[in-house]
Chains A and B, each alone.
Chain A
Amino acid sequence: MRKQLYYFLAISIFSCFSCQSDATVNKKSTIAKETTTGDTTTNKTITSAGNAEYYTISKPLQAEERRFFAVLKKENQDLLFSDEVKRFYAAKDSSLIFSEIVVPKDTLLSGGYVFYSFAYFGEISKESDVRITYSYSLGQMDSKTGSVYGPNVNDYFHTYTGYGLSAKVVVMYNNGKQLYTKTIPLKNN
């Protein structure tokens, strides 16, 4: 029951975030100080997303995250990851709310991607209830949205939908095994 409640909360927070994602990226209201400790850069940036404000910390991709994402990439080869991960906190010293992969700018446009977004809730390193959500566009012929539920690489569901000019395709994986693929022709084709 507690687990279900957690999922519900995570999804609710995501719903709120996803409709404000532009604001998250663009409205940095305060940058107080930057400190670096080891491989972690604390920007102490308050980033506005609608009415919500977050502290962000840049911390590179962790080993567990890298392992999990490598498995997902086998299931969707267009997924991009970089070492740069921005982590969002409600307040200093509070628990992590969500993280965003920051892809290199040269990946976009000249690299073929018109748009790319990859965010996840929960901490993969702690094998908590994790929800990953992504969307990207390589143009009208190939755009995808996907989500992943699960605490770790051995226990997850990954589903995504690809959109092209003549059909959309829904794909589902569970723990590395493809469960389902459905091609739905688009109208007028």
Chain B
Amino acid sequence: MQVGKMAFQAGFVTKQINIQGHTLAEIEKRLGFHKGRLRNGAYFLVAEELPSNSGFLFAGYTQVADHRTAKIYGNINDPKDPGGDIKKRNVKRTWSLHGSARLVKVVPVIKHNEHMNLDKQYMPGSGIPQWKLIKPVRFRVESFVSNYPSGRFIPSQGFYHAIGTQNTESIYFGSKVSAEFRAEAQRVAQSVDIDVNYLMTIMAFETAGSFSPSQKNLNGSSGTGLIQFMSFTATHLNTTTEKLSKMTAVEQLKYVEKYFMDYKGKLKTLEDTYMAVLYPKAIGQSLDYVLFTKGSLAYTQNEKLDADKDGKITKKEVSAKINAKYLEGAKLKN
């Protein structure tokens, strides 16, 4: 199983909203897995199509495991029930292929144990709705969560809409963007292992404070959007500056994530984070590091940045404006 790939699956599912944002230990309890079943991690699959009425069964809530369904609930899937199709139609109306109402299947790395007592293996969960797919449905592997017991299932969509503004921290330039953008920026920063305030500062600087995904470079180059993706860079990310400019700011953040992912673990300072955009060769170098010296073409291309006119453009000189922007960001927190 590989993240991002398609997979056809049957068996038990729930809605994303019931487990999103929770730790593996909590999800174990909610779904009714025995303690430690998710200790080696779990794949989280989201449905890309919904089952037909004949493709799923009612399975009550997770406090009742599959082997006890009939005993506790009786014949809730009686094929002769004249209202069966209507009930199924009604429940399907609460499902979606987008957001937090998506159907999610949790696939633990540790498989079902044939030799373990079913009551011990599938203990009463904390009671969230579940359904049983009896015909395989197409899923996409959304994520793999490890770090048991504290690793969390953070879905790519729907979750931050649900938590709204109250759960997003106060971040630099936060007052200039939407709650959804703040939440997504926090997710991206966490994913690429950089300080969210550094990320916000760079995007504020590169877009002249607009945070617009279609922000064109004011100097007339091909730079576009949140980190002024150059046409070359867009190609590297398998897109174009035109496509990027038509995205929403939140959508474009995924490409910001993709860009910074290549430098994950290396960007511990504001200057280095900025260098990932301006001149990656300088990442990890000291502030005295000379990027270009007079006489080189690259120096001519950036001559205005040689503040002390000594014929050398240093990392410190290049970073001066971003440091000033960072201080400005502190005053514009949400």
Contacts and interface: CB of A to CB of B under 8 A. Distances in A.
Interface string A102-144: 0000000101101101000000000000000001111111110
Contacts of A52: none
B93 interface: no
Interface string B94-132: 000000000000000000000000000000000000000
Contact of A115 (B235, B275, B278): B235
B218 A165 contact: no
Interface stretch (A43-51, A63-71, A180-188): A180-188
Given A26-B238, A115-B232, A186 B280 contact: no
A140 B304 contact: no
Contacts of B279: 112, 138-142
Given A165-B302, A166-B302, A186-B219, A141 B235 contact: no
A104 to B, nearest CB: 15
A186 B291 contact: no
A114 B281 CA distance: 10
A137 B301 contact: no
B117 to A, nearest CB: 50
B220 A187 contact: yes
Interface stretch (A31-39, A88-96, A167-175): A167-175
Contacts of A111: 281
Interface string B203-238: 000000000000000111101000010101101101
Interface residues of B, number: 32
Given A112-B281, A115-B235, A139-B279, A186 B300 contact: no
Contacts of B275: 139
Contacts of A169: 297, 300-301
Nearest to A26: B238
Contacts of B257: none
B298 A141 contact: yes
A36 B262 CA distance: 34
Contact of A166 (B230, B233, B304): B304
A29 interface: no
A189 B219 contact: yes
A109 B260 CA distance: 10
Contacts of A188: 218-219
Nearest to B299: A164
Contacts of B233: 114-115, 137
Contacts of A171: 297
A109 B262 contact: yes
Contact of A137 (B232, B262, B291): B232
B262 A168 contact: no
Contacts of A143: 230, 232
A167 B238 CA distance: 27
B235 A21 contact: yes
B48 interface: no
Contacts of A109: 262-263, 280
Contacts of A112: 279-281
A60 interface: no
B305 interface: yes
A163 B222 CA distance: 10
B26 interface: no
A163 B279 CA distance: 12
Interface in A3-33: 21-22, 26
Nearest to A185: B304
B215 to A, nearest CB: 14
A176 interface: no
A171 B279 CA distance: 22
A171 B297 CA distance: 9
Contact of B277 (A26, A140, A164, A189): A140
5 tightest Cβ-Cβ pairs between the two chains A and B: A164-B301, A112-B281, A166-B304, A186-B219, A137-B232
8 contacts: A112-B281, A114-B280, A139-B280, A165-B301, A165-B302, A167-B301, A187-B219, A187-B220
Given A117-B235, A139-B280, A169-B300, 7 more contacts: A140-B223, A141-B278, A141-B279, A163-B221, A167-B302, A168-B301, A169-B301
Interface of A: 21-22, 26, 109, 111-112, 114-115, 117, 135-143, 162-169, 171, 183, 186-189
